[in-house]
Structure 1
Amino acid sequence: MGLLSFVLGLAGCDPQRIAELEEGVATEADVRARFGEPEKIWDAADMADTPLPGAAAAPGARTFEYNRQPQGQANYMITIGADGKMSALRQVLTPQNFEKVLPGMRMEQVRKMLGKPMKVTPYALRQETHYDWRYLNPPSTARIFTVVFDADLKVKGTASVDEESMNPSGGTR
C-alpha cells in the first residue's frame, strides 16, 4: 500500500514539476532534479524512425522516458537537445498519438512513441502479444489502449476501451 501511495503521489506532482520547466531554458540537470532518473534514454537515432520525430531526432538529442504506468495514466518523453537544454516535454498517451500506431509498425517503434506499457500479455495459441497502456481520455475518462502484435512483433491492430468496462470493480487488470 505504501508503494501505491508513493507512485500515486509522484503522478500527482507532475503538473507542478512540468510548470517548473521551460522549453529552451531548463537544463538536463533541472529535468533530473524534478523528475529523477528516467526509465529509459533514447538517442536521436533511436527516435528517427518514429512518426513525426521532431526535436527528438535532432542531431545530439536524447529523449528521457518517464513512465507512470501501471497505476498512472501518463508517460512523459522529455527531449534534451545537443545544447543540454530541454527542447520538448510531451505527455505521449493521447488519442492523437494512438492514431499514429499503424499495422506493420515494429514493437520497438511503438515502444519509443508511447513508452513502457502497463502490461504485456502473450497469447501463445493466437501467436499474439498485447501491450496495454492506461490513459485519460479528455476530459476525465479512464481508458486502456491496446496494441496487438503478431508473432513477428509487428502491429496487427489496436483497440481502446473504457477502463471501467475492463475492471468494473475499479482494480487493475
Structure 2
Amino acid sequence: MPFFNRLASSAALALVLLAAAGCDPQRISELEEGLSTEVDVRDRFGPPDQVWDEGNGSRTLEYNRQPAGQRNYMITIGPDGKMSALRQVLTPENFARIQAGMGMDEVRRRLGKPAKVTPYALSGETHYDWRFLEPPNTAMLFTVVTDRSLRVLRTQTTPDMASPDHNGPR
C-alpha cells in the first residue's frame, strides 16, 4: 500500500499545483499598484520563494511557478509597504537582456528560479532551463548555458517538448 499512498499524494500535489497556477490571474487582478500592501500580496500568493533587497528600502518578492508553471512573478514592495510593481519576468524582452559574460547570480535575480538545472561535467557547462509561453500560447524553453565559473556562455530558445501543450513528437 505505500506505493499507492505515494501515487495518490503525488497526484494530489499535481492537482494543487495546477489549480494554483490557474488562480494567478484572479489573484493578480485583486492587487493594485500603490494601494495593495505586502500583507495583501502574501494573502493572495503565500510566502515568497525569495526576497530580494533593492537597497533603497524596497524589496522584491519572487513567486516562482517553475517547474510545472510557465511564469515567474516579481512583486516589488516600496519603502512605504505598498506594492509598487508586479511583473511576470519570463518574457522574450527579459531573455534578450541576458548576455554572454553575465554572472548566473544576476540571471537568477532577473528571471527567478529555473525549472531545471543540468550540469555537464565533461564540457564544464551547466544548462539552466525556464519554461515560458511565447505569444500567443506556445510552450517554450529558455536555456542559459554557463561555464564552470557560472558566467553565461550563450542562451537558446527552443520548443518545450515536455509540455502537455506541445503538439509535436515527444
TM-score normalized with structure 1 length = 0.87
Q: Quick check: which has more Rg, 1 or 2?
A: 2
CA distance in structure 1 between the partners assigned to 2:129 and 2:83 by the alignment: 29
Matched, 1:91 2:88: yes
What SS class does the counterpart of residue 3 from structure 1 fall into? helix
Kindly state the Cα deviation for residue 8 of structure 1 after the two structures are TM-superposed. 0.9
The 5 Å alignment of 1:135-154 reads 135-154=132-151
Matches within 5 A, 1:36-55: 36-45=46-55
2:37 alignment counterpart: 27
**Equivalent position to 1:114, from 111, 115, 140:** 111
The count of aligned residue pairs is: 157
CA-atom RMSD in angstroms: 1.6
2:129 is the counterpart of 1:132: yes
Q: Which runs of 4+ in 1 moved over 3 A?
A: 166-170
| 1:156 aligns to 2:156 (yes or no) | no
Higher relative contact order (CA 8 A, sep 6+): 1
Name the % identity: 62
| Matched residue, 1:2 | 12
Following superposition, the deviation at residue 123 of structure 1 comes to: 0.5
Query: What is the distance in 2 between the residues matched to 1:134 and 1:8?
Result: 15
Any unmatched runs of 5+ in structure 1? Answer: 46-58
Task: Report the secondary structure of 2:23's partner residue.
Answer: helix
Provide the rounded CA distance (Å) in 1 between the counterparts of 2:18 and 2:26: 14
1:7 corresponds to which letter in structure 2? L
- Return the letter of the residue paired with 1:149: T
Whole-Å Cα distance in 2 between the matches of residues 169 and 16 of structure 1? 22
Gaps spanning 5+ residues in structure 2: where? 1-10
Looking at structure 2, the residues matched to 73 and 6 of structure 1 have their Cα atoms a distance apart, in angstroms, of 16
